[in-house]
Amino acid sequence: MPPLPGSGLAKGLAVTLRTMTRRSVTEQYPDTQPELPPRTRGVIGLFEENCTVCMLCARECPDWCIYIDSHKETVPAAAPGGRERSRNVLDRFAIDFSLCMYCGICIEVCPFDALFWSPEFEYAETDIRDLTHERDRLREWMWTVPPPPPLDPSAEEPKELVAARKTAEKLAASQPPAAGHPEPPSTEPPSTGPAPTDPPGGRS
């Protein structure tokens, strides 16, 4: 049945009337802090211990707003006769938030989970040059990163876990039992053949 002419207008006016009768609620910021969703893109926090100075975040940044400086240090051999190794040591990690467009590419490409989104947004400055925040400030924001939301119990299991489980089950099935560990004996009673049946004429 086609809708009646003017029914859409009537529905819209009904919504308007319901809204007009409600009292508007305004949050008085900054006295009342807003309730931000868990995936809010505020600032980027740095977990310095996980950073290996691979420079991947700085290379992939489309705005070139990440500045990283490092130097190499020689690590002595862990065992006698071993070879010394060299590793990168982070000297500077800064982000210019006047250029950052909050795309999140640096967080996605970081292979060692050193960068995280923080819902912190109160970092305005009176001078645009002060929006380049160094690693000390980025580390302070790291402690405002919320914990990850729990997984949905009805969600599908990740494909990587399913593939790893199938591979482990195939390996376990293909391996013979270890020597000296025979398979446990069966607990079922031995079979004695089919049960005897009475003759067609019954017992004599």
Give me the pLDDT at residue 204, please.
41
The tens digit of pLDDT for each residue in 107-129 reads: 999 999 999 999 999 888 999 99
In the predicted structure, residue 105 carries a pLDDT above the cut 50: yes
User: Measured in whole angstroms, how far is the alpha carbon of residue 88 from the centre of its chain?
Assistant: 26
The residue length of the chain stands at 204
Neighbours of 23 (CB within 10 A): 4
Dihedral, CA of residue 153, residue 159, residue 164 and residue 169, to nearest 10: 70
Q: Report helix, strand or coil for 116.
A: strand
Q: What is the CA radius of gyration of the chain?
A: 34
Separation between Cα atoms, residue 195 and residue 176, nearest integer Å: 36
The residue written with tokens 């490409």 in the block is: 109
Strand partners, 86: 74
The tens digit of pLDDT for each residue in 72-89 reads: 988 888 788 788 888 899
pTM of the model: 0.61
Q: Report helix, strand or coil for 29.
A: coil
42, 120 Cβ separation under 8 angstroms: yes
Strand partners, 133: 95
Determine the straight-line distance between the first and last CA of the chain, rounded to whole angstroms: 83
